[in-house]
Amino acid sequence: MTWTASVLTLYPEMFPGPLGVSLAGRALQDGLWSLETVQIRDFATDRHRSVDDTPAGGGAGMVMRADVLAAAVDDMLERRPGVPMLAMTPRGRPLTQAMVRELAAGPGLSVLCGRFEGIDERLFEARPVVPVSIGDYVLSGGETAAMVLLDACVRLLPGVMGAPTSGEEESFEAGLLEYPHYTRPQEWEGRTIPEVLRSGDHAKIAAWRKARAVEDTRSRRPDLMERHWGAPRQPPSGERQDDEGELT
Ligand code: SAM
């Protein structure tokens, strides 16, 4: 069965947007995945098709109503039983490549896009909706966050990426950032491509890449080093990294 994304949104016209071009767009055209949008307003019950109301306790903005969202979510859960139901929110579980892999391996996903000040918290208490965040910053709406999530999943679907191994060495797959890339010209503004990459010695190249992945992760993302490799090690003076990326 085709991996299918259902997007619950107030702005269905935003889709497929960037997901309609390049890799994801071609895959969509080729039927490697499918996309449906659901207008949340269709589940409103008043004549104004209201989906939001003022925040309890006061404050700026509006909050998306639990009753309207629950009707949309219930409809989706009934139509697509067993498909994970997510909601984009900065208060959610941080999106990781491991989560992306798990979602890409399943039947697809349903995703609720927030707007305004966000979603009435009771929705998360009353329905199996997993809150997901794409990072520690605030967007104006969940649609762009959902596009990030979908793009990350779709590229992992069978047949979407050219070489079947393209995803395996990438950043976060082994808990590290990927090694840096270079291409021709060999010299640019006085900078040359590291000699080892032109050596043709595959073992040496692999060792260099692993060492750079470790080095760059340590300096740019000490949090990743800590999460995947235990406490971040500051090499004491005299300690050096060998070609395998191991500290000796
Ligand atoms: N008042 C909310 C807060 O401070 O947590 C922010 C609401 S934001 C203006 C509106 C919507 O954008 C959210 O309901 C959510 O759907 C989406 N959104 C914003 N930032 C996001 C993020 N980092 N990850 C996922 N969704 C996000």
84 in ligand 1 pocket by Cβ < 6 Å? no
CATH number among 2.60.40.420, 3.40.1280.10, 3.60.15.10, 1.20.1250.20, domain 3-154: 3.40.1280.10
What is the mean pLDDT of the segment spanning 141-164? 95
Examine the pLDDT at 240 and tell me if it is beyond 70: no
- Once rounded to an integer, what is the mean pLDDT over residues 202-230? 94
What residue owns the CA closest to ligand 1's atom 21?
Answer: 90
SS3 track for 160-214: CCCCCCCCCCCCCCCCCCCCCCCCCCCEECCEECCHHHHCCCHHHHHHHHHHHHH
Q: For residue 87, which atom of ligand 1 is closest to its CA?
A: 16
For residues 95-118, average pLDDT = 98
Cα–Cα distance for residue pair 199/72, rounded to 1 Å: 58
Question: Mean pLDDT in the chain?
Answer: 92
Question: Looking at ligand 1, which atom is closest to the CA of residue 140?
Answer: 9
Q: CA-CA distance, 164 to 174, in Å (whole number)?
A: 17
pLDDT of residue 166: 58
CA count, 13 A, side-chain hemisphere, 149: 30
Asked whether the predicted pLDDT for residue 231 surpasses 80, the reply is no
Among protein residues, the one with the nearest Cα to ligand 1's atom 6 is 117
Measured CA to CA, the distance from residue 133 to residue 164 in angstroms comes to 28
Q: CB of 247 within 8 A of CB of 235?
A: yes
Q: How confident is the model at residue 170 (pLDDT cuts 50, 70, 90)?
A: confident
Distance 182 CA to ligand 1 centre (A): 36
Assess whether the C-beta atom of 121 lies below 6 angstroms from ligand 1.
no
Query: How does residue 28 score in pLDDT terms, banded at 50, 70 and 90?
Result: very high
> In the chain, where does the domain assigned CATH 3.40.1280.10 lie?
3-154
Determine contact, residues 32/169, Cβ cutoff 8 Å.
no
CB 40 less than 6 A from any atom of ligand 1: no
The pLDDT value given to residue 79: 98
Q: State which of 136-145, 171-180, 218-227 shows the largest mean pLDDT.
A: 136-145
CA 234 – ligand 1 centroid, Å:
36
Res 234: pLDDT: 55
Task: Please state the separation of Cα 189 from the chain's center in Å.
Answer: 35
Q: Which listed CATH number (3.20.20.190, 3.40.50.300, 1.10.1270.20, 3.40.50.2300) goes with 169-248?
A: 1.10.1270.20
154-158, 192-196, 229-233: range with lowest mean pLDDT: 229-233
Omega of the bond leading into 235 within 30 degrees of 0 (cis): no
Residue 135: count of CB within 10 angstroms of its CB: 11
Q: Which protein residue has the closest C-alpha to ligand 1 atom 27?
A: 89
If one residue of 85, 133, 139, 143 were mutated to test the ligand 1 pocket, choosing by the most ligand atoms within 8 A of its CB, it would be 139
Per-residue model confidence (pLDDT) at position 241: 39
* pLDDT of amino acid 173: 81
SS3 breakdown of the chain: % helix, strand, coil, rounded to 5? Answer: 35, 20, 45
| Beta strand 3-9 pairing with 130-133 | unpaired
Find out whether the beta carbon of 134 lies less than 6 Å from any atom of ligand 1: yes
Conformation bin of residue 48: beta by default, left when phi > 0, alpha when psi is -120 to 50 = alpha
CB 174 within 8 A of CB 162: no
Q: 20 falls in which pLDDT band (50, 70, 90)?
A: very high
172 against 189, higher pLDDT: 189
Which residues make Cβ contacts (< 8 Å) with residue 33, sequence separation at least 6?
A: 2, 3, 4, 5, 24, 27, 108, 154, 157, 160
Closest CA to ligand 1's atom 24: 133
The reported pLDDT for the residue numbered 233 is: 53
